[in-house]
Structure 1
Amino acid sequence: MKKVIITVDYNPNSEKVVNKGYELAKMMNAEVCLLHVLSEMRYYGIEYQPFMGYEGYAFPVDYNIQEEFVKVAEDYLQQAKRHIGGENISTKLVEGDTANEILKYSNEWGADLIVMGTHSHGTLERIFLGTVASSVLEKTKVPVYLVPTGEK
């Protein structure tokens, strides 16, 4: 295994995922890519006409918001890279559905392993919404190393 993707989100527990993933990659002398997926930007800068008497989205939208989200995410990835402080580390920022983009990029980059955190969601939430980790596990062609990030 020579290429390891470590997925990071904005949860403070991502530090645990990065540390554990990098520790594993170092043992394998593998190249690392820190991957962050921005949810589809249309959800952040929504501009709807008033509907059902609700005018909450009928305000002018700052179209530079996407650029700001990208800058913040790129800065976050660079900070995570500095945190690791090792060699053979790259970063990748993509936009879209999180699970789909993780799978897509792992294929494009030729990853041998995907490292992800598992958040402690309740049973009902998992049943109705699913999780990114379970979606990746269902469709991946490469091994996935899950790092538990719960409080326990």
Structure 2
Amino acid sequence: MYKRILAPIDGSETSTRAFESALRIAREFGAQLVPLYVVDVSIAGADAPGYDPTIVRDALLEEGSRVNAEARAKMAREHVAGTPRIVETSPLGDDISHSILRVANEWSADLVVMGTHGRRGFRRLILGSVAERFLRISLCPVLLIPAGDTTREATPS
């Protein structure tokens, strides 16, 4: 049923859980899997003295390479085909969710598997949700994998 699965990853526990699910699905269906790391260097703060976006960009590209290498190793152990990718958001208003959509459309993904932190109320309003934004614009099925224990968020520490 699924031949091309896209899994946005960012190194967080939540995206790792989603990637593990995508890996299982890809193995079961004999599908190709593309782990996708999106580099988003916001232009906010660009007018601040001494701001150098290349430092942030280089750090994010390095992190993306590390996260993709881990994904590639897991895929090799599970004998799942595919090639991890790194893409960058466009400085002209392209956000992470639209970057994921662009790759999903270019690659003709059958399924996108992504993590969600399950934030509610004020935290979601302030922090936003890449998963929610992507879900609203996606042209293919999306499987959202929740964070490990969403009850922790409701309990003050």
* Coarse TM-score class (shorter-chain normalised): 0.7 to 0.9
1:41–1:74 distance in 2 versus 1, CA, 3 Å: farther
1:31 pairs with 2:32 = yes
Q: CA RMSD for the aligned pairs?
A: 2.1
Q: 1:47 offset after TM fit, Å? A: 4.0
1:122–1:32 distance in 2 versus 1, CA, 3 Å: same
Give 1:77-88 correspondences, 5 Å limit.
Answer: 77-85=68-76, 86-88=79-81
Give the letter aligned to residue 39 of structure 2: L
Q: What are the ranges of 5 or more consecutive residues in structure 1 without an aligned counterpart?
A: 49-56
Q: What are the ranges of 5 or more consecutive residues in structure 2 without an aligned counterpart?
A: 90-94, 151-157
In the alignment, the residues of structure 1 paired with residue 27 and residue 86 of structure 2 have an alpha-carbon distance, to the nearest angstrom, of 22
Residue by residue over 1:12-53, the C-alpha shift from the partner in whole angstroms, topping out at 9 and shown as x without a partner, is: 23221111111011111100000111113545xx442xxxxx
| Matched residues, number | 142
In the alignment, the residues of structure 2 paired with residue 90 and residue 112 of structure 1 have an alpha-carbon distance, to the nearest angstrom, of 16
Tell which structure's C-alpha radius of gyration is larger: 1
Give the letter aligned to residue 61 of structure 2: V
Q: For residue 120 of structure 1, what is the aligned residue in structure 2?
A: 118
> Percent sequence identity over matched residues?
25
More helix by share: 2
Q: For residue 136 of structure 1, what is the aligned residue in structure 2?
A: 134
- TM-score, length basis structure 2: 0.78
- TM-score, length basis structure 1: 0.81
Q: 1:63 offset after TM fit, Å? A: 3.9
Q: Could you tell me which of 77, 82, 87 is aligned with 1:94? A: 87
Give 1:7-86 correspondences, 5 Å limit.
Answer: 7-40=8-41, 42-43=43-44, 46-48=45-47, 57-59=48-50, 61=52, 63-85=54-76, 86=79
